Structure 1
Amino acid sequence: MASNIIKIIICILLLKFCNSIVMPDGKHIKSYASMGLTSVPRNMSTEIQMLDMSHNQISEIHRLDFQPLMRMTFLNLSFNLIKVIPAEVFQFNTDLTYLDLSNNLLHNTECSFLRYTVALTYLDISYNKYEIMILGEEFLSLPRLNFLGLSTANLSKHNLEFKSPLEIDTVFLGLDNIIVYEYRSLKGLKSKKLHISLPKNESMARTIVTDAILSSLSLELSNVLFTSGNNIYHEKETPFLKNQKLSSLILNNLMLTWTSFLGMLKDIWSSSLISLFINNITIIGKVEQLNFTYNDTSLKALTLKKVRFTIVYMDHVYLTTLFINMNIQNLSVTEAPMVFMNCPTYNSTLHFLDLSNNVLSDQASQVCPNFPVLESIILRGNKFKQISKVSKMTKMMKALKHFDVSGSQLHYDGGPEECGWLESLVKLNMSFNNLQHTVFKCLPEKVEILDLQYNKITYIPRNLVHLTCLKQLYIGFNHLSSLPGCSDFKNIELLVVENNLLHSISSEIFKDCNNLTILNARNNPYQCTCDLYNFISHSNRLDMKLVGWPDMYKCKYPDVFNGTGLKDFSLPELSCNIPLLVITVLIIAFAFTFSMLALCRYLDLPWYFRMVWQWTQTKRRVLKKKSSQLLPDMKFHAFVSYSQLDSDWVKEYLIPNLEKGDKPLRICQHQRDFIAGKSIIENIINCIEKSYKSIFVLSSNFIKSEWCHYELYFAHHKLFSENADNLILILLEPIPQYTIPAKYYRLKGLMAKRTYLEWPKNKIKHGLFWANLRAVIDISLPETEMVTCV
């Protein structure tokens, strides 16, 4: 359905009358095309303005079928099976401007249904079953009609004569199936343009062509299939010379011999014709080298599109020379097997030359001085490869402004000295080629419009100082990942970079490109970062139009923003404002430093430093002693560290259970074994070093005792300095981690990483507890009489 709606809109836009029509929105357009309908649907919305029911099987139209559609302006009923149209069917559709009833089965010559369509501008009733077409009084009610499509099987002199001075802009006559045609039957038509589809009967077609030439100001003929004879008309005196008002001729699907083609051109050369357009021409038979005299002519434009020859071998030099020497202003020979582009024999009058979609190659390029007034040359879709050769073609064309060599196989790897562009070239199109960034070394200095779309350019080198005149740059559909500023082309007004690999566009483009008014950067894989955020914040600049904004600008990276519209993308101001970010970082750094100093004071870290210093000094003094003065390495099985508030448990349970029995253990207890006269720190270090293990009795009281933490500190130091597993933790009661002050982080770490023994409340489990503890510290120590920490 959507495709049919599009067809409707395109069809209307091609017609002149649509200039006065305001296109309705989607809800006012309805398409039933190709849905197998056999009748007009009921209960259609009264809001419908455009209705398409083409390509169905509707055979009957009723008087009230379109009564609800009073706002309808467009109706397409083509390609159905309709035989009769009731006279009152459109009495409620007075706003109808477009009516297509072509390719049905209408047979009655009366068109009484037209009496109510006074606003009609387009009417097509061609290819029905009319035996005789008579333009009756009904057409007098159509003063705005500017397109009329007709067809009939029989056409005589008076059938197409209007009974009032009704002038129609365009008349189409589908005479493909005509049986009887009377010469001069087209004399009564008063139209600016006449378009006729000719029958296959060659004799009748010749008569119609001659008649059409004599009756029109602008003529279009389709299916001109004349495969025999020397001309496309039968009169000895050419009708082109009789009608000195005919100015434009279009021939579609033309088939004739080379002799007939040249004969027609000779007659046209002496006629009043200004423009000749031949689309899809087939030359049958041999191409002979016949003379062609270029007399003074009114013809200004000749277009040959889709030229075919039935023979393979021919003199291409002759063909090229014939056309290139024509004394006209505009010449187009496209989609033809032209392999050469010869230089004219004398100074050419051509202003415009189009040789696109041929087979021209580098061998066809040559420096030619005989184009003194040539302003535009179109060579798109050929086989050119080297820019150095193509550019030198323009060297002597002093008036050339526009050069198009798109759609070839151009590449460039050389230096600027190999290029020979005309310096005054204004517009250059090299799109759809194989060009890379090196092409910027080979460009005309004064080019204003440059089209490099659909190439393989990865970046624009920053050496474009010579392009100071560039105003429009089209470089979409390449592989650009970044854009330069406008320092090398300060006069740029329009920049197209759509469908590249751009991750961002710097906001500097708004500052550097002062003359830029239109930017097309849609459909790129944008990386939504600060650079792009700054660009978006400037996107509402009033003097620049951003084409496709905002629907066609979306984030691609990072994945979290994939598919997000750039308009909806945002970042914190702090992350993209560098000065603000620096100030914020300095403030945070200052606050962190101040906080760390306060924290150090709160956690009493200076105390730990003093303890380390005292421990170091003690170790240094011990190391200075002679080895003979040192006591044996191990004097105790274990050193016990505990809080004074837990001394009852130590004295009642721990000491008795370890020092009794057949194999009593030697336990170092500070109340009993510390030597008077020595500092507490030195006593602690000596006892820890002379003990095989260090037992710490952990409880809430232990946490509150600073001396217990000193002992834990030095025992932990021995663990790392000697790589010895000498710590035993006994947990008298559960101690949650959050109850341990932050400054005792070492205890937290030990409790988190080491396995500890829990004192069981159940007396039955005490035996196993003591057995496990003795097993850990039970080793053989040297015999000694005096067990003290010295």
Structure 2
Amino acid sequence: MTLIIIRILLYYIFNFFINIKRIDISEISSRSIENIREQNTNGTRTLDHRAIFNTRSDWSIRLPSSLEFLNASFIIGRNNVINSITIKGITRLKIIDFTYSSLDDCNYTVNGLQNVLILNVSHFKCGVLNPYLLQSAVNLEQLIMQSSSLSIGLKDDHHSKFLHGLKRLQYIDFSRNAFEDQFRTSTFKSQLDSVQSLILEGNLFTSVPLNLEDFNRLSFLNIRNNKIAYLITKEINAIEVLFRKSNRTMTVLLDGNPLVCTCASLDFVEWLFTTKVKLDSNGSYSCVGNDGNITTTNAVYNHLRIFRIRCITTVWVIFSVTLFGVLLLFILVGYRYKLHLQYFCLFIGMANPLFLKSKEEKLEYDAYVAYCDGDYEWVYGPLRIFLEERRNFKLLLLDRGDVLAGEHRLFALNNSIPKCKKIILVISKEFVNNDWAYYEATVGIEHFLGLQARIIVINLENITKTEIPQCVLQMMSLDANDHIRKTDILNENNIFWKCLDQAMKR
């Protein structure tokens, strides 16, 4: 209904005011709407254009060719049936103000704007946006679209058609559109060589939302009242590049952002007072310090050296505490899982034959023999004779004097096993019931943990599995029969001695 009234008004204007240069129908439109509302409250049926048209239609409005300025703001209507609006006859029209004149959405196109230089379409409902809405404004120099829900409407403009072709745009105002994300790289592709002023005030940006270095003439950037904490080095460098491109006339507005003055932002604070870029408030902004208190960038800059020292000290303290914590954790874990770590180290050593070979060559004895006193005669008899006299192996026997005279037996054990390539455990009934023998076996097995081939177990007597120590139970063993147990007979052709010889050579 509103558009019908406007068309009638413009018809009379066109016919009776041929040379008119300025038209302001904002007040007329408002009164017309109020009259319609009064008629509706008095019982008069309001004309609803949706009841008249069933399909989307194309509207056209003819204006005087002499017209230079049109104010059609605060016009309320619905566009459910409008596909396009064409403005005809305007050869001199330079400025159009459509503020608050939004229809239900922006899903239509406006034609005939070829000569318009300044267009204000703020407070439009462009959550639903036709990307070709303003494509006819090819000579447009200033576009103002404040509070027009562009953050929603432009999400579906995947190919960046909204500003495509508007290559003369010098001034773009997208304030208060609830933008959060970065613009697509192609959003302003057609304006890289033309735009000089970019207004992004009152949005929700946490950083500069576009690649500033891509612009060639940008000299004014308004990012006030966003959610920016500080500018990172990349953004600062891009602004400095624009400063040089703009012949040293670059201006950046930052006031109203929740700036922080922390260790991470000290370079930004220093830049505020050393750059030649023009800043609002001369670079002195309110900010939140490390302690959470409100201060100013000027106050931080005046004590910048002190702040940097504090930050460096804090970093080193954190690093030192972290390193100490890691080392302490490593020590505790290493102590808790020392056997597992030992096994791991041994496993790594096993994977390197050259290392093992060189290590074995440095060892003094071929095997350490662990036994009990009751088995002394068999150990010093057949076992020693076969291994040392017949096969030239060198055994370490504690009772034979192979250790330092007067050395405590416990220390002798701990010092002797590391000198040997293998350990031989002579298991008998006396052995499994002897605490010292059990300890001797445990120390030996721990030393050769993960190297089962270095541990040779000889079952000298028939012993049940329940009697054998747990640490020995899982080891491969050689079982001696009655013939082998004899101390006065040595038949080296027996399968027992052949297996023992092979085990010593592995």
Normalising by the residue count of structure 2, what TM-score does the alignment of the two structures yield? Answer: 0.50
Larger Rg: 1
Give the helix-richer structure, 1 or 2: 2
Higher RCO structure, 1 or 2 (CA under 8 Å, sep 6+): 2
